[in-house]
Structure 1
Amino acid sequence: MKYNKIISFAAAAVLLCGCTDNDMFSQAPKEPGITGQYDYLNGYNKLKTYVDRNANPNFKLGTGVSAADYLGHKRAWTVTNENFDEFTPGNAMKFASVVGDDGTMNFSTVKDLVNKSAEAGLTIYGHTLCWHSQQNVTYLKSLLAPPNYFLHVTSTSSGKNAWDASVTYALSNPLVVDKTYVIKLKGKINAEEWASGDPVQLYFWPSCEKGTQYLSGFQLTKAWNEVSLEFKASQPIEKLNFEFGFLKGDFCIDDISLVEKGTDKNLILNSDFEDDNVSNWTFPSWLKQLSIIRDKEESANSGGEEAAKDSLNKVLDKWIGGMMTACDGKVKAFDAVNEPMSDHVPTELKTAGRDGSAKTNFFWQDYLGKDYARTVVALARKYGPSDLKLFINDYGLESATQNNAKCLGLIDMIKYWESDGVTKIDGIGTQMHVTCSLNPTTQKQNEDAVVNQFKLLAATGKLIKISELDMGLADAADKTLTTDSVNTEEEQNAQKAYYNFIIKAYFDNIPVAQRYGITLWSQTDSPAGSGWRPNEPIGIWNKDFVRKPAYAGFADGLAGK
């Protein structure tokens, strides 16, 4: 985009001087002026002045801004304070920004944002209490440690000799004669009856066709303990035999290793029994009193599905309670749940695998079930202010390619969550990360779907918020255009017209009582290295905070023009 910019001497000087918090706002960098074909944009006032407050007494004009930019008094701080009523701190109020790997929670940035926004006369929109993305997966997964698997051997009767019962592990390759080996394992034993007076133990007598090497045993107790034995192979050992003929009861083996001394290569496969395969372990067919299974027990920090749910519910309680305390009753609206609906099956909730990786995301519904949103809402009501408004927020509700399927799916899901007669969801947020197409057919489909979305949302009777509005641009072949490639007046005016269309469609279709507000998500065009819509012309200001024609379309839409 090509603009001729004029920055006044006074504004430029501000960039070079220091200032205190008390007069920071008056000395902050101003928007550059414009000359040339778009100089008409200089005649536009600040955005929030175009909202008819008499006709829309509860409407909030919002924007997205990072905590670093706002608290650091960057130019976005000035633009936010001058043009908007409310802002959404991009990431600062998300779980991963607050919760450490050990579960500690640091709300200091949240508190600073709440206080600084109040000083400027702005409100904050809370984003978000529960989401699958930007969670501290390390911490949450630590609460859901998988069961520990092990080899479980049962003998229902005891014999007179140690060799009356045995289990054998078959090695893939024989041991080398005269080499020294170390065998180590964790084990435990529960002996109902031990026929000899010897210590409770497993005798270790490895063998091959040439003979057996008789070694000492492993003494085990009722609790897991680690035992080891070092030996020199006198035979080309092929089988590891554990003899326990005296035993009536059970013993268990886990984390078994056999290595040549001085090396670390384990000669035993599936040594921790985590793979569902114990075929290398056998016992003679005539020992009918024996059985071998791959068993499991819950690890120390996990007690099964119900215990996992209890742990996660406690985390949500601490997290939501902490967030509401940090906000001190000053944040009156929150996304209770963000982006719950599947992209692939828009009538269902997102789940790991189908809708994203479980390694980088945490899908709460996979652990807490379909009703997880009820828990989130209940906790927000418990800890939040009495006038708190709770929204469910999602993207793609305006999608023409899905015929608004996700919008319909979300509406039905909210009905389900509220069907308990207790859960109350106040509003729906539609993100609207849209693309304006220079293909007339595609663009007409886009516009029709936008209007249909608003009609569907209005019919719910709930507060409706455009929560994250930004706009890319595609050419006549529907190929996404980059920021630097958008140069023509036609391209600029296409975005201007679509912003105007969307905002007017909101006011035309959403009744006054349901108009919570509109939030501009990205103030400026996205640079090439950005993590969000990189190198797309999505702002109503360019990267230097110079107004674009899209600014006029946005302002005119607010004014009803």
Structure 2
Amino acid sequence: MKYIKLLPILALISLLVSSCEDDIMEWQDRAEENKVTTAELPLELAEKITRYDVLNSYTDYVLGAGIIMDRYTSNDVYRNLVNENFDDVTVGYAMKHGAMVNAQGEINFEPVDNFMALANEGGIDVYGHTLVWHANQNANYLNGLIAPTVIPGSSGPNSLDLSGLKDNSFNGWGLNNPGDGITIVENEGLTGDSQAIQLIASASSSEPYNLQLATPDISVESSHEYEISFYIKSDLTGKGRISFDANVTNQYPYKDWYNTGGEFTEAFETNSQWQQVKFTVDDIKPDATTFKFNFDLGYLPGVTYLIDVNNISVVDLDAEAETVNLITNGDFESGTLDPWTGYGNSSTREVSAEGAGYGDTGYAMVLTNPTVAQSYEAQQVYEFDAPLEQGTELTFSFYIKAETASSIQVEFQSPDYSADYSGAIEVGTSWMQIVRTITPSVADRGKFIFDFGESATTFYIDNVVLTNGEVSTGTDPIIIEKTDEEKEELIGGAMEDWISQMLTHYKSEVTAWDVVNEPMKEGGTLRDGNVADQAADDFYWVKYLGEDYAVKAFKLARQYGNPTDVLFINDYNLEASLAKCDGLIEYANYIESQGATVDGIGTQMHISLDTNRDNIVEMFNKLAASGKMIKISELDVRLGTASPTAQQLADQAAMYQFVLDMYRENIPTPQQYGITLWNVSDNADEHEFWLPEESPNVWDANYERKHAYKGVADGLAGRDVSEDFTGELED
């Protein structure tokens, strides 16, 4: 059933048909003037209707009611009416994935179990609705299964030099015992497009040091604690440890390698899934200024290991926090000015010779202005990816010197060239640090600019920092998208978990199920899940499992249920779109061609007085030709008003009777599974979400029989039952 929001009455009248959804609504009395009653019926007709027996006495096939579970369990009048007139009930919402599955994927059976017990006491069977649908799912849980894996970044700046791995030179790294090979392989890392170290244990490998890779020396403070982390996997079950050089007191430590809170062991185990080894070291010898560690992976023969290059890290947990620099190349140690640009007054810009940076080390940015001009006529520009935050005080600092005493200015500039300025900054001929603050006054300040046109001189600038006070937390997290194959496996597993538990738990209570609900588009093709505006609880299984999603669902239902369970595929608008009816039958045949069994087809039939009667007959003929059990699964006839006239009530009764007559006449008796009337009465509380301000049902708002009751009873019986009544009717 599809979730319907409140619509104007005229819009409801114009709807051809819609799929449906029940929701949980509280019972309460309504103002008398808003209730639909039988007062407009002729007295003789009203008395006839009172003489009719309960509805299920007029048919041998299953007569069901679509109900609201909470109302059934809490309201005696409602429950007794259902128990007296129907053979089974279909719960509109409470047995769906979204109602029963929690955020961890666990199923809460208790509310439905309590309902089942009460239904059994009343002699009512329960029809299972529905196992696989695209709506009313716990979409948050299902989407969470296939969400990207987020690998947290390191806890702080990495003290380990990875350059010898990234350039494939192993410079500084020690291949102490290479086994059958230690190499860098492309596109085998965590993200699928990153590097990994591949280490292969030989066929004779038996000791941990038989396959060993040593890191470069790592500069340390002996009193500090360090966190070591890396990601590793192997083609076969593997085993490894980390050992240290003599600068660490315990060179062969026992650790909780995977940081699980478990026991400390000599080694860690590996498998085909990436796992993070993460532990700390705090026993560096007092006089040590460096240490190195070894990957010891030689325990088992013939195992191939992969270690992600980008995520091997050693972090000083006791280091002072570093602020985040919003300027990515402020120290120029790359040997380039990229992404800095500049222009104006024939000025030039370049990177200094190595050793000309602040402190006579590294590089500096060199800006030369040949002639005196306005300050802004010679500029060096750093452009941000996104504008600076308006109203946030920013601190900038840099080291600077000039060949002659001069001045320079900093500005934060917008695309229209307006700016916030630092004012003139006096510069001497020796290195000096400048620290200032500027607060962006508008929301589009996107450039940091040095204005240096006022003096004809050469400036040396180094260690440019712009910060908003945020502290560096290390490397950014890595986001790994799951492959289509991984998504298919995960969603297929979730489907099996859901269906297996439902069919097993309710094996003795439920013997007929809507296995797949509403799989088709209006034109008769299969839904593909490519929907732009989805509801929060929409989840399209077909998007991840393909057209065989229903094949899988039917096979699972058959596997875990009773051999004699009757399994249906169900959809709406089949009488409005005969192409959709054809498509559903064709899809049911496809499911069976793939080895599953579809016992029946359900046609919902949410119709109105204007529904094309010829189409209804043609739909039944097509369904009958399928050879399957046919069920009218959610029948109601809407009138477009909550206050119908006597004529509308009569027309509604006639439409109900027509549908039941055509079902009986066109569906062979062996294929007639039964009919379910959707909702019980016109009481507004039953229509808070489904057909509000309407009167589509067989009982009125006061739970009195409507003219439609006679239409349904006569349709079930195949004759005018009132002709059998004897005695005089009141005038």
Q: Distance in 2 between the 1:190 and 1:313 partners?
A: 30
**What is the correspondence of 1:72-83 to structure 2 with a 5 Å cutoff?**
72-83=74-85
1:407 corresponding residue in structure 2: 581
Residue of structure 1 aligned with 2:599, choices 426, 430, 450: 426
Among 436, 454, 460, the alignment partner of 2:609 is: 436
Identity of paired residues, percent? 37
* Contact in 2 for aligned 1:92/1:98 (Cα 8 Å): yes
Amino acid at match of 1:322: Q
Q: What does residue 253 of structure 1 align with? A: none
Tell me the equivalent position of 2:322: 230
- Residue from 48, 59, 62 that aligns with 2:56: 48
**What is the one-letter code of the residue matched to 2:708?**
A
Shift of 1:111: 2.1
Which whole-Å CA distance do the structure 2 matches of 1:196 and 1:81 have between them? 79
In structure 1, distance between residues paired with 2:520 and 2:621: 20
Check the 8 A contact 1:426/1:463 in 2, yes or no.
yes
Given that 1:526 and 1:532 are in contact with CA atoms closer than 8 Å, whether structure 2 keeps it comes out as no
1:50-69 matches, within 5 Å, as 50-51=58-59, 53=60, 59-69=61-71
Deviates more, 1:520-529 or 1:541-550: 520-529
1:364-415, Cα deviation, whole Å (9 max, x unpaired): 000111101111111111111121110001000010xx3x111011111111
1:331 paired residue number: 510
Q: 1:305 Cα deviation (Å)?
A: 2.2
1:385 is matched with 562
Counterpart among 591, 607, 632 of residue 466 in structure 1: 632
Q: CA deviation at 1:494?
A: 0.7
Q: Which secondary structure does the structure 2 equivalent of 1:519 belong to?
A: strand
C-alpha displacement of 1:117: 2.1
Structure 2 letter corresponding to 1:453: M
Shift in Å, 1:95: 0.6
Q: Deviations over 1:431-456 (max 9, x none)?
A: 0000113xxxxx5xx10110000000
When the two structures are aligned, how many residues end up with a matched partner? 418
CA–CA separation in structure 1 for the residues paired with 2:715 and 2:676: 13
Show the 5 A alignment for 1:203-352: 222-223=311-312, 230=322, 239-240=329-330, 243=333, 299=480, 303-343=482-522, 345-352=523-530
In structure 1, what is the Cα distance between the partners aligned to 2:69 and 2:625?
35
Q: Which residue is 1:507 aligned to?
A: 664
Task: Please say if residues 333 and 389 of structure 1, whose CA atoms lie closer than 8 Å, have aligned partners that are also in contact.
Answer: yes
Q: 1:195 to 1:521 in 2, by over 3 A?
A: closer
Q: For the Cα contact (< 8 Å) 1:189–1:222, is it kept in 2?
A: no
SS in 1 for 2:697: coil
Give the aligned partner of residue 590 of structure 2. 416
Task: Work out whether 1:520 is the aligned partner of 2:677.
Answer: yes
Counterparts of residues 81-230 of structure 1 (less than 5 Å) = 81-146=83-148, 156=167, 222-223=311-312, 230=322
CA contact (8 A) 1:65 1:76 kept: no
Contact 2:683–2:702 (8 Å) recurs in 1: no
Decide whether the 8 Å contact of 1:483 with 1:526 is kept in 2. Answer: no
Q: What value does the CA root-mean-square deviation take over the aligned residues? A: 4.2
Alpha-carbon distance in structure 1 between the residues aligned to 2:170 and 2:122? 85
Shift, 1:466, TM fit: 0.1
RCO higher in 1 or 2 (8 Å CA, sep ≥ 6)?
2
TM superposition score normalised by structure 2: 0.51
**Letter of the structure 1 residue corresponding to residue 564 of structure 2:** D
Q: TM-score scaled to structure 1, two decimals?
A: 0.66
Query: Which range moved further: 143-152 or 537-546?
Result: 143-152
2:616 to 439, 450, 456: 450
Q: Which amino acid aligns with 2:705?
A: R
Contact 1:499 1:554 in 2 (8 A): yes
Secondary structure at the aligned position of 1:387 is classed as: coil
| From 691, 696, 711, the counterpart of 1:533 | 691
* 2:574 aligned counterpart, secondary structure: coil
The separation in 2 between residues aligned to 1:464 and 1:241, in whole angstroms, is: 76
Distance of 1:314 and 1:157 partners within structure 2: 40
**For residues 263 and 340 of structure 1, do their structure 2 counterparts lie closer, same or farther at Cα, with a shift above 3 Å needed?**
same
Distance 1:138 1:231, change over 3 A: closer
Q: Which entry has the higher C-alpha Rg, 1 or 2?
A: 2
Partner of 1:248: none
Distance 1:225 1:432, change over 3 A: farther
Superimposed CA distance per residue, residues 76-135 of structure 1 (whole angstroms, 9 cap, x where no aligned partner): 211111001111011121011110012111111222233322222221110011111000
Kindly indicate whether residue 511 of structure 2 is the aligned counterpart of residue 353 of structure 1: no
